[in-house]
Each structure stands twice: as C-alpha cells, then as structure tokens.
Structure 1
Amino acid sequence: MADDGSAQHNTIWPLPKFHFQVMWDDAEMAFQEVSGLDTESEALEYRAGNNPVFSKLKMPGMIKYSNITMKKGVFVNDNAIFLWFKDIKMNVITRKALTISLLDELQAPRIIWKVKNAFPVKVSGTDLKAEGNEVAIETVEIAHEGFEIETK
C-alpha cells in the first residue's frame, strides 16, 4: 500500500511561495509577485586605542529594511495604486498598514509580515509591445518603517 503522506508531521514539507495574500488597510489587493521582505543590521566596527588586540570589535548597528516591490496585472478601472501615489505631496503622504500573508492549502495564513507605515515611492506602468502577447503588469515600490513577522 502506498503512503499517502497523512501520517507525516506537517513540518516535513516547506510552504510553497505561490499562495499569498496582500492586504492594505482592509482592502485585499491581488498581486502576482512580492519581493523585498528582507532586513539587515549594519555591523559597526570599533577599536579602543588601549586595546591590546590589533583588530576591531564588531557590534550590531542600525537595522534597515529594503523597499517592498509588488507586481500585479493591469485591470480596467483598477487604479488604486496610482491614486495612492498621487496623494504624495511635500512631506504629506497617506501611510497604510500592509499585511502580507503566506497561506497554506486551506487558505489559512501561516507566516504574516505586518509592515508599518507603508507608502509608495515608485509606480511603474506596463511596457507596451505591438508584437507581445503577455499580460500587462504594473509595479509599485513601497517604502516602510519596518515589519514584524508572525508564524501560526
């Protein structure tokens, strides 16, 4: 009898990355691709003049976050991204809560990135080709002030 996998523990297989959900405020946005969910700490180097060791100490410095880039298909009468970007004025912008969830096969969120104070810094419309047969894709780049990760 073949093993159907039901006896295996649910942590044996990693989650696929193709099933996800993006929410900003209370609205769900259907994106094709999300990238830039990374963070890093800059290493600070320091050496005191009276240190007998001839090397620098390294310690963690400021944390920085990459901008999040999201791509989606272009739909008729769906210009929410451009309207949000249009709101940018001199130091006045509508910041939104952004929640990105990696979903399991039952549509339940398993890993959640809660992005703080997100706002668009770049919006790119689709490229146009007379000989192309691809779907029209628009891109938005989001700046933010960090995120928290929750697992369930």
Structure 2
Amino acid sequence: MADDGSKQGSTWPLPKFYFTVNLGSQDKTVSFQEVSGLDTETQPIEYRHGDNKVFSTIKMPGIVKTGNVTLKKGIFVNDNNFWKWYDAIKMNTIKRETVVIQLLDESAKPTMTWTLSNAWPTKITGTDMKSDANEVAVETLELAHEGLTIANGG
C-alpha cells in the first residue's frame, strides 16, 4: 500500500504558496502574489570594562531593527486603495495599520502568523509596460513598520 504522507505529521516543511494578508482597519483581506522582507535583527552592543583582565569586548543585545516588507499583487480596474493610503502621507500624519500575514495549511487554517504593528506605505511601484509582453501587470507596495511579532497558528 502506498504512503499518502498523512503519517508524516509535522515532519514535512510547510509550503509557502497559500497565505492571506489583512490590511488592518480596512478589515479587508487582499490577494497578493508575493510577500517578502519578514525579517528582524538585533544590533549588538560591544562593551569592555576598563579593569577587565581580558583584552576584548563583550557583546550584548541592543536595538531591534526590522526591514521593510514588500508586497506584490496584480493590478485590477478601479483598484486605487494603495494609492489612496499612500496619498494620506502628510507631514507625519499617516494612517498606520496593523497588518496580519498568515501562512495557511491545506484546510485554510493559519499555521503561522506575522503581525506588523503601525505599518504604513513607504513606497509604491507601478508596473512596467512592454508592447510585446505576455504578463500580468503587477504593482509593488513597500511597508515600513514598528515591530514584527510571530505566532504559531491563528
């Protein structure tokens, strides 16, 4: 009898092609082609006591730094929501949102959740256009945020 993989349980890595993105107070799940930039880094602080007998520094965790998250999606007719959000940037008055990105299993249940706090659009890139192309028009939205939390499940 062939093994269908159901006995494997949690030994298989998660596929990354089934995910949702919720853009905060708009309470709207938007379909994206690609999400990247879900990274965080702690900058080290080097310190050495003046009377330390070891002639080297010790390293301690310092400020946490997160990169911008990039979202790519197809362009649809009369869909200007990202441009409206971006146009709201006026001298430090921007509508900040909590963005929730969830990786789903085959039954559409979340297996991992990334939450971006106080996210706002820092860059929008429209599509390139070529007369001989056979591709979908894709726009890119880059979000700056003030923190990334990761949780298992929903």
1:6 positional shift: 2.6
1:35 positional shift: 0.4
Distance 1:142 1:130 in 2: 30
Which residue is 1:39 aligned to?
40
Classify the secondary structure of the residue corresponding to 2:83: helix
Distance 2:105 2:5 in 1: 16
Which residue is 1:95 aligned to?
96
Matches within 5 A, 1:3-152: 3-8=3-8, 10-25=9-24, 26-152=27-153
Residue identity opposite 1:63 in structure 2: V
Among the aligned pairs, what percent are the same residue? 55
Q: 1:64-94 deviations in whole A, cap 9, x for unaligned?
A: 1110000000110111111100100001000
Residue identity opposite 1:15 in structure 2: L
Q: TM-score, normalised by structure 1?
A: 0.96
> CA RMSD of the aligned region, Å?
0.9
Residue identity opposite 2:3 in structure 1: D
Classify the secondary structure of the residue corresponding to 2:6: coil
Classify the secondary structure of the residue corresponding to 1:85: helix
Classify the secondary structure of the residue corresponding to 1:11: helix
Aligned pair count reads: 151
1:114 positional shift: 1.2
Q: 1:77-114 deviations in whole A, cap 9, x for unaligned?
A: 11111110010000100001100000000011110011
Classify the secondary structure of the residue corresponding to 1:7: helix
Q: 1:12-38 deviations in whole A, cap 9, x for unaligned?
A: 111101110000121111110000000
Which residue is 1:2 aligned to?
2
